[in-house]
Amino acid sequence: MAGRERTPRLLAHAALILGVAILVLPVYLAFIASTHGGADFLSGRVGLLPGPLLVENYGAVLFAGASTAGIPPVALMLLNSFVMAMAIALGKIAISLLSAFAVTYFRFPFRVAAFWIIFVTLMLPVEVRILPTFQVVASLSMLNSYWGLTVPLIASATATFLFRQVFMTVPDELTEAALMDGATPLRFFWSVLLPLSRTNIAALFVILFIYGWNQYLWPLLVTTDTGYYTIVMGIQRLARAASEADPVWHLVMATAILAMLPPVLVIALMQRLFVSGLTETQK
Amino acid sequence: MEAKRVTFRGSALPYLLLAPQLAVTLVFFLWPAAQALYGSLFAEDPFGLSRTFVGLGNFAALLADPAYLNAGLVTLVFSASVTALSMGLGLALAAAADALGKSGGAYGALLVWPYAVAPAVAGILWLFMFDPSVGTIARALKAIGISWNHALDGEQALLMVILAASWKQVSYNFLFFYAGLKAIPPGIMEAAALDGAGRRARFRFLVLPLIAPTSFFLLVVNLAYAFFDTFGIIHATTGGGPGQATTILVYKVFRDGFEALALGASSAQSVVLLAIVVALTALQFRHIERRVAY
């Protein structure tokens, strides 16, 4: 049996290695491109090995940007992306924890109605209500601000459902004990529920950080001031410049690498939390 | 929807706790969605000075518009291809990793990271590889006699965005298929093997039916991804072109609303998209109910 099993095992390894190679290829080529000079591309000198300009190219995009194309330094865009990702992740978690607490631990009129209103947001992605949402944000003077970038995105039905599920598994005895000890609801929330949901919060944070970092359409709509560009949308302006005027592919690819580095690192370092976050939010 | 058996008392507190979530939902979700529904019933003159009620006229105009029907067709081809390609590859890789037992898990880390790459960034990576003058793949294709130029050839442009969108989505499918395969009790497979079922027969008649719920769930999620989340790929690479070759529905609603400023038509398109999301969500929930019933 063992002898016959060896060939399928080799085939499986080969298939997986091929799969990994296909996934890595675009990123590898981008990295190689980001270490060469702009003039090397047309002459075909960019091969499959890194060039000598790693530090120069990354330094250039990080701190100078492409001033001819009106692109701010990437360091600023990274900062904006970080602020946006953190605010969206923490904001969603905070308001969802509170609303899940309200609908599971209280009985009050319109409880079910509130639950349905939250549920409906599942069916209204930004793409479906682009223009009217933009008008609302514009009329509240929230264009070109961190508020405008984040607040309209922090409602979350998924997170609310997840926390509700977590709270439903918390034994009622704990609530009874808290009531007997005269603890206020907020005290119970803070000292019992929050510590019990710690891993769920962490797992959800990983997913939501990536979600916030990778936002594209929304920043495109609400920012015209280059000072508020996020890196994921800023790269498109840079690429457009690259395909039109002088070839700046080395700078575009350096920016692409910088744009994917933080979320990919988050997944790599917190793989276990990432997997449980992804499967939990889909339940 | 149940509450806990033991609950707290408080009349104002639950409303206060819900206030932030409900405020954001009402102001940025429900109100704009209502605006879209309402606006889809009116026609506005190009200067936005007056609007007239046209009932379902915008929808009729939409369905009679060849450009819109074309966008619908492109969306179908695009999402069917992305779904088939990324689910097929995801399943193949998951089956390979599962066949290796414990050592297969080591590949997991190497396969899941593209999930974290933004669609727009994924698009840019593929745009570079296919750049007609400097791209590695375009040059390799030229060497074997295929001339590549997605700026001129609509089919090539569509193929490029399909590849970019699938590349990013393989990880997700791999992850869920792998979990589904690992959940199959080894006893069932051993029994089938003892009964003389070969590798292929076991996969076809045991594994595939057993992971059917996962596959159905992934089908819905992948379609939703291809319909909505790929906006960034299209916008950052082809801009819907050449011509209308890569204009999918979400891209069209954006362009008609923001660049052409056709308010009524754009609202009607939003409402059509809304119907698609509602249908997909309903499908997804049917799946969950079925799984609970098991």
Beta bridge partners of B43: B52
Measured CA to CA, the distance from residue A154 to residue A96 in angstroms comes to: 9
- Structural contact between residues B32 and A132, judged by C-beta atoms closer than 8 angstroms: yes
Measured CA to CA, the distance from residue A83 to residue A149 in angstroms comes to: 10
Amino acid A91: pLDDT: 96
Indicate left, alpha or beta for A173 from its phi (over 0: left) and psi (-120 to 50: alpha): alpha
Q: How confident is the model at residue B83 (pLDDT cuts 50, 70, 90)?
A: very high
Measured CA to CA, the distance from residue B3 to residue A231 in angstroms comes to: 43
Measured CA to CA, the distance from residue A160 to residue A121 in angstroms comes to: 11
Summarize pLDDT for B241-277 with one digit per residue, the tens: 798 999 999 999 888 887 777 777 788 888 888 888 8
Is A59 within the bounds of a domain? no
Q: Which domain holds residue A263?
A: 73-281
**R_g over Cα of chain A:** 24
Contacts of B104 in chain A (CB under 8 A): 12, 16
Is A49 within the bounds of a domain? no
Q: How far is A187 from chain B (nearest CA, A)?
A: 12
What are the residue boundaries of the structural domains of chain B, listed by start? 57-293
Summarize pLDDT for A136-152 with one digit per residue, the tens: 898 998 899 999 999 99
Lowest mean pLDDT of A268-282, B84-98, B158-172, B255-269, name the range.
B255-269
Is A78 within the bounds of a domain? yes
Query: What domain count does chain A have?
Result: 1
Surface of A (47-76) touching B: CB under 8 A: none
Q: Is the ipTM of this complex over 0.95?
A: no
Summarize pLDDT for B161-188 with one digit per residue, the tens: 999 999 999 999 999 999 999 888 888 8
Report, as an integer, the average pLDDT of B86-115: 90
Amino acid A68: pLDDT: 58
Cβ pair A136:B28 closer than 8 A: yes
Contacts of B5 in chain A (CB under 8 A): 172
Closest-CA residue of chain A to B259: A131
Summarize pLDDT for A220-237 with one digit per residue, the tens: 989 888 888 999 998 888
- What is the model's pTM? 0.91
Q: How confident is the model at residue A85 (pLDDT cuts 50, 70, 90)?
A: very high
Cβ pair B24:A155 closer than 8 A: yes
Give, in degrees to the nearest 5, the angle at Cα B149 between B146 and B154. 105
Please choose, from the candidates B146, B123, B156, B133, the residue with its C-alpha nearest in 3D space to the C-alpha of residue B246. B156
Is A29 within the bounds of a domain? no
Is A14 within the bounds of a domain? no
Runs of H (alpha helix) within B100-211: 105-112, 119-129, 136-143, 154-182, 186-194, 199-202, 208-210
- What mean pLDDT is reported for chain B? 87
Measured CA to CA, the distance from residue B5 to residue B8 in angstroms comes to: 10
Measured CA to CA, the distance from residue A131 to residue A225 in angstroms comes to: 19
Q: Is the pLDDT of residue B81 over 90?
A: yes
- What mean pLDDT is reported for chain A? 86
User: What is the CATH classification number for the domain harbouring A198?
Assistant: 1.10.3720.10
Q: Mutate which of A123, A151, A169, A253 to test chain B, going by most B C-beta atoms within 10 A?
A: A123
**What single string gives the DSSP state of each residue in A12-27?**
HHHHHHHHHHHHHHHH
Q: Is the pLDDT of residue B294 over 60?
A: no
Summarize pLDDT for B39-61 with one digit per residue, the tens: 888 877 666 667 788 878 888 88
Contacts of B118 in chain A (CB under 8 A): 213-214, 216, 232, 259-260, 263
> Which CATH number applies to B57-293: 1.10.4160.10, 1.10.3720.10, 3.40.50.1220, 3.30.1950.10?
1.10.3720.10
Amino acid A2: pLDDT: 43
